[in-house]
Amino acid sequence: MAIATAPAVAEAGPLGDALQQLDAAIDVLGYDQGLHRLLARPRREMSVSIPLRRDDGSIEVLSGYRVQHNFSRGPAKGGLRFSPQVSLDEVRALAMWMTWKCALLDVPYGGAKGGITIDPTMYSTAELSRVTRRYTNEILPIIGPEKDIPAPDIGTDEQTMAWMMDTYSANVGYTVPAVVTGKPVSLGGSLGRPSATSRGVVHTALAALAYRGLVPARTSAAVQGFGKVGAGSARFLAEAGVRVVAVSDRYGAIHNAAGLDITALELHVATCGTVCGFGGAAEIDPDDLLTLDVDVLVPAAVEGVINLRNAHDIRASIVVEGANGPTTNDADAVLDDRGVLVVPDILANAGGVIVSYFEWVQGNQAYWWTADQVEKRLETRMLQGWRSVLETATRRGLTLRQAATVTAVSRVADAHLTRGLYP
């Protein structure tokens, strides 16, 4: 079978990394050029203009995107991001990673992602509601509980999903809870969904520690990012006995070699809006957090924070990717050469999409599970994924990222080949 030549890739950034990871998986699997091209390109993408009337009466026009990378295994699934850095290429990369994530954890979805180029901190709640509703109305033809199911991401939350659900439902004329996940429980959301990504990160972190023969009570961790994923990851690591010595957010970073009081820190952040100024720690340069002498590093913020500039200085023996694409491909090679175990994003942070799937199932059945049921099923799925990736990596002589991508790509390709090419 002919080996594919790589489709043109972006020179840099998340999309370039995503396409290069696909190229490597194709080389291992030996797929032909046609299948490679099909897997490299989104099946559908939409760019929209979002006119917004500001509270002062002025008009602003924002850019929004929704990319559906693949739906061979089921409806598309992926978050909606509000960030000044959102671009079409970033959304394309995130949608591709969602495809692999869903396939790797055997969730019956394809990958999608959405984004609006906006800094949500600069807009009122009323303005964000108008932006969300207009964006939802613009992408209405391509979303739905059997088509594409959005969820929260950076800069969005339960309230955003409630606005999306209400806008969609108003347009079709009846309430459709399953059109989005990550909703408030009062509107059909699932118990355990807000903390699901963080719990999944910690399940894989603890599995990686055990694989390396390390005991949580005698290990340390640093968490970059203290938002929805980072804060929960720090809390659950601490509850497992790991000494969390440093955390950071968009404003700065703090460090205490004896371990941070995460409960007190969360109260501080709830009051002050930042980790900075916390009395139980010293402030450090945020870049220095990534190179602290710890056992586990959890990058849980944005893409590309571990790169060629700092990869040689990473001292953690295990990196667990809470964010999407936090390690560039060049840095990944450096970490592998140095013996650092990297638990890839499409495995480590898959807890969110797993419990989103649980929420979608519950919404379609109008029957809700207990928090204990959700968390036990999440743990089972995460550990099954860990064992599958570890077995493939060992058998094929691959890194965990390579093994995860090969496994996921093969499952998506099998689904496509079984269905056939239409017409």
pLDDT tens digit sequence for 397-411:
999 999 999 999 999
Q: In which residue ranges of the chain is CATH 3.40.50.10860 found?
A: 42-175
Q: What is the pLDDT of residue 422?
A: 77
Please list, residue by residue across 359-395, b when 16 or more beta carbons sit within 10 angstroms of its beta carbon and e when fewer do: bbebbeeeebbeeeebbebbbebbeebbebbbebbee
pTM: 0.89
Is a pLDDT exceeding 60 seen at residue 9? no
The tens digit of pLDDT for each residue in 22-33 reads 999 999 999 999
The pLDDT value recorded for residue 3 is 35
pLDDT in tens, 272-305: 999 999 998 999 999 999 999 999 999 998 888 9
At residue 260, does pLDDT exceed 90?
A: yes
Instruction: Name which of 311, 318, 313 is nearest 296 in CA terms.
Output: 318
> Could you give the 3-state DSSP secondary structure of residue 6?
coil
Judged against a pLDDT cut of 80, whether residue 8 lies above it is answered with no
Instruction: Classify residue 152 as exposed, middle or buried by CB count within 10 Å of its CB (0-12, 13-18, 19+).
Output: buried
pLDDT of residue 111: 96
User: Tokens standing for 265?
Assistant: 């820190």
**Class in CATH terms, 196-348:** alpha beta
pLDDT in the model for residue 264: 95
8 Å CB contact between 344 and 321: yes
pLDDT at 12: 67
What pLDDT, on a 0 to 100 scale, did the predictor assign at position 10? 45
CA distances from 419 to 38, 111, 124, 162, 202 (A): 14, 18, 47, 35, 36
Average pLDDT for 192-213: 95
Per residue in 134-188, pLDDT (tens digit) is 999 999 999 999 999 999 998 999 999 999 999 999 999 999 999 999 999 999 9
User: Which member of 113, 147, 183, 228 is catalytic?
Assistant: 113
* Residue (of 196, 175, 193, 174) closest to 184 by Cα position: 193
The two structure tokens encoding residue 315: 């001292």
What mean pLDDT comes out for the span 198-222? 97
Bridge partners (DSSP) listed for residue 47: 65
Cite the residue boundaries of each domain of the chain with CATH code 3.40.50.720.
196-348
CATH fold of 42-175, please? Rossmann fold (3.40.50)
50-59, 122-131, 245-254, 363-372 — which is least confidently predicted?
363-372
* pLDDT > 50? residue 1: no
Known catalytic membership, residue 113 = yes
